[in-house]
Copies of this chain bind each other. A is one copy, B any other.
């Protein structure tokens, strides 16, 4: 299911490569020795999680169905206008962001507000409905950031066992 999830993200205009620098900028201040490769590895590892795959596939399905007009009103208009008070996209993405620890919530909220790089572009693609997609991407990067932070600490504690669970 991991490959279907990555393909689905790409079909909506999101390449893992686009997320790597966002994650790098987010964690570099805390992990000076961080590399782009480690960021890519962490995003791919997060995508192994069944909950992450389910969340991305479900959120994108709702975007696609809204785009095709295949949802009933009033939900259709809410998703098409990305109603600021519709919080289901946030709740799904937050669930991803905290799967590697609650510190993910801070990174999720920050990314969702600041919308760096590709995230901003997703949020402002008029011909597309990306109500869920931009939040999903924030949640994915936030989860990868939490994972990096915990693993970095684990390594420092020379406690590899911990990091394999």
Residues of A with Cβ closer than 8 Å to B?
A: 1, 4, 8, 30, 45, 48-51, 54-55, 57-58, 61-62, 65, 70-75, 78, 84-88, 90-92, 94-95, 98-99, 101-103, 105-114, 149-150, 153, 161-162, 164-165
Which of B4, B61, B91, B149 contacts A102 (CB under 8 A)? B91
Chain B nearest Cβ from A67, distance in angstroms: 13
Beyond contacts A84-B103, A88-B102: 6 other A-B pairs, Cβ-Cβ < 8 A, are A49-B101, A54-B85, A54-B88, A58-B62, A62-B62, A109-B112
Q: Which residue, A4, A62, A106, has most C-beta atoms of chain B within 10 A? A: A106
Provide 6 A-B residue pairs closer than 8 Å at the C-beta atoms, listed in order of the A residue: A4-B74, A54-B78, A55-B88, A65-B65, A88-B95, A99-B99
Chain B residues near A87: list those with CB within 8 A: 51, 54, 95, 101-103, 105
A90 touches B62 (CB 8 A): no
With contact pairs A84-B30, A85-B101, A153-B85 given, residues A45 and B91 touching in the complex (Cβ less than 8 Å): no
Chain B residues near A153: list those with CB within 8 A: 50, 85
Chain B nearest Cβ from A39, distance in angstroms: 16
Chain A interface main SS type:
helix
Q: How far is the CA of A51 from the CA of B101 in the complex (A)?
A: 6
Number of copies of this chain in the oligomer? Answer: 4
Chain B nearest Cβ from A132, distance in angstroms: 10
B91 touches A95 (CB 8 A): yes
Which of B62, B74, B164 contacts A164 (CB under 8 A)? B164
